[in-house]
Structure 1
Amino acid sequence: MTRSRQAASEAGEGPSTKTRRRWVFALAAIAVAAAGVGLAGWAADGSGADTTVKKTTKVRTVAVVRTDLSNEMELSGTLGYGSTRSVQASASGRVTWLPAPGAKVERNEQLYRVDDRPVLVFYGSTPLFRRLDTRGLVGRDIKVVVDNLRALGYDIGSQPAVGSTVRRAAAPASEPPAANAPTAPGAQTSGAPDGKNDEAGAPTPDAPEKTPAASAPEETKVKEGDGVLTAELMDAVKRWQTAGGAAATGVLDAGDIVVTQGAVRVSSVKAQIGADATAGELLTLTATTKSVSVPVDALDMGSIKQGAKVTIKLPDASTAPGKVSVISTVVQSEEAASGGAAGPAKVSVTVSLDRTGAGKVADIDSAAVQVQFAGQTKKGVLAVPVGALLALSEGGYAVQVENGPLLAVKVGMFAKGIVEVTGTGIKEGIKVVTTS
């Protein structure tokens, strides 16, 4: 919407942070969508004469109230190991070993076996996606190998610096076929009755078949986060393979390693011993530490901060300390029940437990809990619903007086869909347009 710059200039930025501005804009948009209300744009000619709402649909008004605000909340959550990750095999063969549900698997430990070859865990963020067999290969998957072998104590030598150019070794030339090699069934050996081939470049008794030339070397510039498959790194891979009882080839295939963010817990085992490894899901993984997932109404997110301390009420009525560790950036609406309206928009908040809290829930894999979010209280402040806020294109916020002008406001405390507002012309009892 086009906003009156005269109205916008009447207020400063206020104490709100960029994060809060982003949330208010998003929450106001959610409220508009939920109410199905459209507001026409406002125009200004510099005199402020034409700043009234031009209604395209019926809107609701609400009075500015003086009230006490508290952003303390107690919400329902689920204690568990967090979201699961599915694991599928990259290499074909038969499954010959699987871990037990609940097992913890750390770096360099086997996760499963295919054709009795162990598939091990490395830590990182990029999976192995190709065969690492050529000196001079560059990429983030190689950086995973570099980091893990270093962490395991292997000397991998020096790595080329970021910005340097690396030349990949030429691929080896393919071997020419043996003179007495059998011809594939059904293959045509010649287009001529005497067995000679008249096509250009084809072998004849007077012109023996040429050996294919090796591919030309490629040059790659090393970027931030890349690793380089050097001769020293390939030697380190050989030593690591020997220590694990594997053939010391210096080559890694994508199916040799499963890359995880850290140590993992086996949540469930899906496959059977002897099954085709690539036929489907083998197992699922979770984090090894417990946390609490709490769905929070999007309109209440202004009062929840990263790192904030919380109290978790456990099923046995005891409590455990925790803190907000992750706030999702995805806003999701609950699906509507049959014939009903969709539920309120929610944001997932993850609460982690400290050592004391983890000890109290050591014997609980999953449970419903209550989470108390500590907050603050303000008394006697002017407040409106969050849905009454309008984000101005030039920054800041405003409210629309019923049949009147836009009034720029500074936002303060948020609590349960209500926001503290101050500004010129903002007083108790005036009616403002709102979408919630």
Structure 2
Amino acid sequence: MGEVAVDSASEGARTPAPEQASEQAPEQATALSPRRRKARGRGRKVVALAVLVLLAGGGVTAAKLGLGDRGSGDKAASELPPSTAEVTRRTLKDTQSVDGQLGFGPTTTLTARRPGTVTEAPDAGDRITRGKALYGVDGRPVTLMYGSTPAYRALKQGAEGADVRQLEKNLSALGYTGFTVDDEYTAGTADAVREWQEDLGLAETGAVELGSVVFAPDAVRVDSVAARKGDTVGPGGKVLSYTGTEQAVTVELDPADQRLAKKGREVEVELPDDRTVKGTVQDVATVIEPGNGQGEEAKTKVEVVIGFKDAAGRKAADAYALAAVHVDFTSETRKDVLTVPVGALLALAEGGFGVEVVHGSASEYVPVTTGLFADGRVEISGKGIAEGTKVGVPK
């Protein structure tokens, strides 16, 4: 919108009235008059102010704004800018800070698979590892084993599948032998299961009943307990909820910001004491929250789990059980690029961007190609633009 206003003003300055055309033609063929050059310089700066309002937020590229390099040759400026800055080489980062919650990551609800009376229950905060009981029903333990596939059927000799392999991996890790870890539940597997059942004081059937084992990716921390010792539970009834054992930061993003969270990407976490530690995105999941009725629509969120990258970060986070934190995501990095303050950028009347390059007591407008905008600076490149080049900036 600003460019249109300047174009019309510039055309008014450049185009003489019909009766004056023959008199002014020689002057136009050589150079602009001082008065007209000054008008063009001011016009460009007005456009720059309008555009820079949009760009001042930083962290965007000209391409994202639909503004490319449409510049022409160099144009002379008639007066020096009020102040100057040097083109410097540095690394720019597109960083966005969001609020997060320090805890132990997302919670998982554990429900009963078989009815009975709770005879063993943990306390909130307990840590449970492979082979240990999460809780007990009618005197029989419900045992934790590691794996990503949930228990969904009873397993016995003749069964085949990934869940069989998962069970056998756990039996092997617990020290049971006599079978091959594969997808087949063989007689050797059944014998190992009998030994395991004997150690737990269970009937030695050689088969794993549905509901006797719970699979989780790793050791768990009990977050809350719903069914206490002596309570009666039925299939589907909530028993407890658990998290991982390592502290983690959970962040909710709008779907439009999902580009920030890529699995494995490094982030910075600012703790309540203002210390900053490094983290890594461990998991990204889309979560749909149903509406509360009354015509309210469901909401879609992107849930991001961030773990601490090193021992120093984990130690710093240990000071807090739960805390609000800030997470800085960097979605784009431009290393060792030429940059100027955003205020140095001008929107040229003929299109595109430029800067006013100062040479001693003179200056000229030089078209440039813009890259990343971040931290109040912009990446630029163009003819004659080098580290140390002086460019005009507002006071």
Q: TM-score range by the shorter chain?
A: 0.5 to 0.7
Is it true that 1:126 corresponds to 2:140 in the alignment?
no
| CA distances 1:111-163 after superposition (whole Å, capped 9, x unpaired) | 10111111111111223333334x3222232222211111112113236xxxx
**CA 1:71–1:278: 2 relative to 1, 3 Å:** same
Given candidates 65, 90, 96, the residue that maps to 2:119 is 96
Which sections of structure 2, spanning at least 5 residues, go unmatched?
1-64, 70-90, 343-369, 382-395
1:231 pairs with 2:234: no
Task: Work out which of the residue numbers 148, 170, 194 in structure 2 matches 1:148.
Answer: 170
Find 2:200's aligned residue among 228, 244, 249: 244
CA contact under 8 A between 1:121 and 1:260: conserved in structure 2?
yes
**Structure 1 residues 136 and 77: CA distance shift in structure 2, 3 A:** same
1:80-139 CA deviation, whole Å, 9 max, x = no partner? 111111111212211111000010111000110111111111111223333334x32222
* Cα deviations by residue, 1:249-306 (Å, 9 ceiling, x for unpaired): 2121012111111111100000122222216201001111111122345444445544
In the alignment, residue 267 of structure 1 is paired with which amino acid?
D
Deviation sequence 1:208-235 (CA, Å, 0-9, x none): xxxxxxxxxxxxxxxxxx7222111111
Shift of the alpha carbon at 1:333?
9.5
Q: Is the 8 A contact 1:334 1:346 kept in 2?
A: no
Does the 8 Å contact 1:92/1:276 carry over to 2? yes
Distance 1:333 1:132 in 2: 35
Residues 371-386 of structure 1 aligned to structure 2 (within 5 Å): 371-374=327-330, 376=333, 379=339
CA contact (8 A) 2:340 2:379 kept: no
Contact 1:149 1:156 in 2 (8 A): no
More strand by share: 2
| Secondary structure of the structure 2 residue equivalent to 1:146 | helix
Aligned to 1:71: 94
Find the aligned partners of 2:329 and 2:133 in 1 and give their Cα distance: 40
CA gap 1:243/1:313 in 2 versus in 1, 3 angstroms: same
| Contact 1:112–1:119 (8 Å) recurs in 2 | yes
Identity across matched positions, percent: 36
| Structure 1 partner of 2:243 | 286
Give the aligned residue type for 1:64. L
Partner of 1:324: 281
Q: Distance in 2 between matches of 1:270 and 1:245?
A: 26
1-side partners of 2:107 and 2:261: how far apart? Answer: 25
1:311 maps to 2:268: yes
In structure 2, relative to structure 1, the CA distance for the partners of 1:88 and 1:308 (3 Å cut) is closer
Once the 2 structures are TM-superposed, how far is the Cα of residue 314 of structure 1 from its aligned partner? 1.0
In 1: Cα distance, 2:155 partner to 2:164 partner: 8
CA displacement, residues 357-394 of structure 1 (integer Å, 9 cap, x when unaligned): 11112242221101123453664799xxxxxxxxxxxx
Q: Trace 1:33-432 onto structure 2 (pairs within 5 A).
A: 64=67, 70-133=93-156, 135-158=157-180, 227-278=183-234, 280-302=237-259, 305-328=262-285, 330=286, 347-353=302-308, 354-374=310-330, 376=333, 379=339
User: Could you tell me whether the CA contact under 8 Å between 2:107 and 2:242 is conserved in 1?
Assistant: yes
| Shift in alpha-carbon separation, 1:250–1:412, aligned structure 2, 3 A | farther
- Name stretches of at least 5 consecutive residues in structure 1 with no aligned partner: 1-61, 160-225, 383-410, 423-436
Counterparts of 1:247 and 1:361, CA distance in 2: 45
How many residues align? The count is 262
Looking at structure 2, the residues matched to 335 and 152 of structure 1 have their Cα atoms a distance apart, in angstroms, of 45
Partner SS for 2:227: coil
